[in-house]
A and B are shown apart, each in its own frame.
Chain A
């Protein structure tokens, strides 16, 4: 039985506590979710606008249980991008925050959320095991979705619970949005364990976060590298947090300096820090670094999660057996998702990956069997935990009439433009439409875009990129 079908066993326990003090038991959560699902009736596609609120979580659980397939959408998504996604996938129903609900027929409103029937008529099939659709890159607004099966959600959740040792008395405080794979996996694993989620939208920089943390005695939280940067700035080492049991880190590479700093702080505080690696394409997690190896294997993503395995592929896709040789990291396991969707017809597609995921990350394995990521095969950056596809940014800027080439390293985007007068326009566009912060941007002016005789962009001919400040 999938864990979300079996939540009745926790009926009396507290599932969520909100910042305002509102608490909901599992019984209340599932009866609310099930009744919302009944308003929709049967299996269909729904857009669910995600926020760290009871309403959003209730709907998510109710849809999973009723086999209604939700597309999880960021509640701060740009209206144009949302409308593009709607046109692409033609959902019959939407469950949106009141301020975003427009058009269609309103069926139900509750606690700031509105359920409405759209004008769309579903003219495509939903594959029988398709359970959930996640966006791949919230920032550039690509309509590409990852197709996750019920089996994927169930197996990944169970593997994570096993290696983290999540227990019913845990209280995870949210630090990440729910539409983000890592944030969702924290919700899934704690619900499947009968534990409690402390729901809030505050950042670790806000007083509300720490008030809630202390009042409801959080035992764990997860953070992307940027959360750890903020915690370092906030003197995490000096905070008194006796309820804290362990913390996790994922969503991009944490640099060695911060890793060492936090491993030491955690050792002093007698809590564990588990570094993990994953992708939406693998539901959420693929590996973890066991605490007893954390200081011995700094920079490593660890070993494959229970029921999964890694191997390194040569350019001809054959496995590289020798240690310390770089190739593409390949993951195999029951959490490898079905594939992508680019159009509504794709929702009828079955399993295209058969449990094998070529991650697009270049990696090596040491002699002890620990894996290390050394770079990306394609041109991606990871800025504040969000994947940024350089080719997409380039394309978006070009559409806006800006002649440019995008490059970068780790978490910093470097834009080469040919017309100096484009800089302000390009910066504003990137900051507001692609949601990349100013601090992660550098501009340079070049006389022309370097191209080969066949017209192909020559990235190697770009001027060297200066390392960003403070690094």
Chain B
């Protein structure tokens, strides 16, 4: 699985959504991405890429697109 596929899978599995919904997806824009969903997403990203997100990055992860930039800081190339 490519890194982009892994990244997408973290969102798809955490929120139980289809891939078409990913582009432009924002925190709290769907019922599934609430604080509980957010914790699952963080855990899924950390597991998939074997990284540990810092406080500010967990808080800043407010959209599908911003998340890409955040994990790039941990050396993950999508």
By a beta-carbon cutoff of 8 Å, the part of chain A in contact with chain B is 203-207, 210, 226, 229-230, 233-235, 238-239, 384, 431-432, 437-439, 470
Count chain B residues whose beta carbon lies closer than 8 angstroms to a beta carbon of A: 18
Is B31 touching A432 in the complex (CB atoms < 8 A)?
yes
B59 (CB) vs chain A CBs: closest residue: A207
A469 to B, closest residue via Cβ? B43
Known contacts A203-B34, A234-B55, A439-B40; 18 further A-B pairs (Cβ under 8 A): A203-B35, A204-B35, A205-B35, A205-B38, A205-B39, A205-B58, A206-B35, A206-B59, A210-B59, A230-B35, A234-B59, A239-B55, A431-B31, A437-B34, A437-B36, A438-B16, A438-B40, A439-B36
Contacts of A432 in B (CB 8 A): 31
CA distance A414 to B32 in the complex (A): 20
11 contacts between A and B (CB under 8 A): A203-B34, A205-B59, A210-B59, A226-B36, A230-B35, A233-B43, A233-B58, A234-B59, A431-B32, A437-B36, A438-B16
Judged by a CB distance under 8 angstroms, whether B65 is at the interface is: no
Q: Provide the residues of chain B in CB contact with A229, threshold 8 Å.
A: 39
Top-9 shortest CB links A-B: A203-B35, A437-B36, A207-B59, A235-B55, A234-B55, A205-B35, A205-B38, A439-B40, A438-B16
Q: Of all chain A residues, which has the CB nearest B37?
A: A437
For the complex, give the distance between the alpha carbons of A234 and B39 in Å. 10
Listed residue (A205, A230, A438) with the most chain B CB atoms within 10 angstroms of its CB: A205
CB nearest neighbor in A for B16:
A438
Residues of B within 8 A of A (CB): 16, 27, 31-32, 34-40, 42-43, 54-55, 58-60
Residues from chain A with Cβ under 8 Å of B39 in the complex: 205, 229-230, 233
Determine whether the beta carbon of A235 is less than 8 Å from that of B35. Answer: no
Q: Which residue of B lies closest to A383 (CB)?
A: B36
Cα of A437 to Cα of B54 in the assembled complex, Å: 25
B73 CB to nearest chain A CB (Å): 16
What residue in chain B is nearest A209 (Cβ atoms)? B59
Instruction: Assess whether A384 is in contact with B36, with CB atoms less than 8 Å apart.
Output: yes
Residues of B within 8 A of A438 (CB): 16, 32, 40
Are B59 and A238 in touch, CB under 8 angstroms?
A: no
Smallest CB-CB separation from A439: which chain B residue?
B40
Q: In the assembly, what is the distance between CA of A359 and CA of B39, in Å?
A: 32
**Are A238 and B55 in contact, CB atoms less than 8 angstroms apart?**
yes
Which chain A positions have C-beta within 8 A of B40?
438-439
A235 partner residues in chain B, CB cutoff 8 A: 54-55
What is the distance, in angstroms, from A206's C-beta to the closest C-beta of chain B?
A: 7
In the assembled complex, which residues on chain B have CB atoms less than 8 Å from the CB atom of A210? 59
- A203 to B59 CA separation, bound complex (whole angstroms): 10
The residue in chain B whose Cβ has the minimal distance to the Cβ of A207 is B59
- Give the docked Cα–Cα distance between A261 and B27 (Å): 28
Tell me which of A210, A431, A437 has the highest count of chain B C-beta atoms within 10 A of its own C-beta.
A437
Query: Are B58 and A234 interface neighbours, CB within 8 A?
Result: yes
Complex alpha-carbon distance, A438 and B39, angstroms: 12
State the Cβ distance, A278 to closest chain B Cβ, in Å. Answer: 23
Task: For B46, give the chain A residue with the smallest CB separation.
Answer: A233
- CB-nearest residue of chain B to A234: B55
Residue of B nearest to A432 (CB): B31
Chain B residues within an 8 Å CB radius of A238: 55
**Shortest distance in angstroms between A27's beta carbon and chain B's nearest beta carbon?**
35
**A229 — nearest CB in chain B belongs to which residue?**
B39
Q: Whole-angstrom distance from the CB of B46 to the nearest CB of chain A?
A: 9
- Chain B residues with Cβ below 8 Å from A470 are 43
Which residue from chain A places its CB closest to the CB of B53 in the assembled complex?
A: A233
B52 to chain A, nearest CB (A): 9
By a CB distance below 8 angstroms, the chain A residues around B55 are 234-235, 238-239
- Taken together as a complex, chains A and B put the C-alpha atoms of A230 and B39 apart, in Å, by 7
Note all chain B residues with C-beta closer than 8 A to A205: 35, 38-39, 58-59
CA distance A206 to B40 in the complex (A): 15
Chain B residues within an 8 Å CB radius of A233 = 39, 42-43, 58
The residues of B that contact A226 with a CB separation of less than 8 Å are 36
**Cβ of A234: which chain B residues have Cβ within 8 Å of it?**
55, 58-59
